[in-house]
Amino acid sequence: MKHVCMLISVADINAARKFYEDLFGLEVFQDYGRSIAFTCGLALQQDSDWLVDMPKEKVLKKSNNAEIVFEEQDFDGFLNKLKEYPDIEYLGEVIEHSWGQRVIRFYDLDGHIIEVGEDMKMVIKRFLSTGMTMEEVSVKMDASIEDLTKLLNS
């Protein structure tokens, strides 16, 4: 068995497509009109109630029980780009997790939680550039040196 995609319900397929293409740079792999699949494995379905045989009122907005997660190499550049979307509803400010990764969370046009985090490879490089040893980075990030090295070399 293989995982094919994550499908989310959207109210306006054209607006949602533009949002994901413009803000995240996603590329469409397949376009079936009311359903779009991006090359990254995310799919959009307009009015998915009929697809899953569910009453329209059962499709919840802002259910807050899942996130669509992205990582960005140029995290600060992404934050600047995000400012071009004045209607974005944020779930707080940028936070830095104990392992050093900075993240921002917000809702997309249809109330799905989006998390954009600093690329983990960039976090490691940021720590190393401050003079931390790989051993210190390993402790800070609670990850083995082997796993960190694999990530750096990927």
Q: Kindly state the percentage of the chain with pLDDT values over 90.
A: 82
pLDDT of residue 57: 79
Beta strands at 102-107 and 42-46: parallel, antiparallel or unpaired = unpaired
Q: What is the DSSP letter of 89?
A: P
Q: How far is the CA of 119 from the CAs of 70, 108, 143, in angstroms?
A: 9, 20, 15
pLDDT of residue 73: 95
In degrees rounded to 5, what are phi and psi of residue 96? Answer: -115, 120
pLDDT of residue 91: 96
Round to whole Å and give the CA distance between 82 and 126: 22
How does the average pLDDT of the chain come out, rounded?
Answer: 93
**Per-residue pLDDT band at 87 (split at 50, 70, 90):** very high
Residues 6+ apart with CB under 8 A from 139: none
pLDDT of residue 54: 79
pLDDT of residue 65: 86
9: β partners: 45
Side chain identity at residue 77, one-letter code:
G
Residues 6+ apart with CB under 8 A from 99: 123, 140, 141, 142, 143
pLDDT of residue 139: 97
The answer to whether residue 143 scores a pLDDT higher than 90 is yes
Q: Per residue in 9-61, pLDDT tens?
A: 999 999 999 999 999 999 999 999 999 999 999 999 998 777 777 787 777 78
- The CA R_g of the chain, rounded to the nearest whole Å, is 18
- Complete domains list, the chain, with CATH: 1-54 (3.10.180.10)
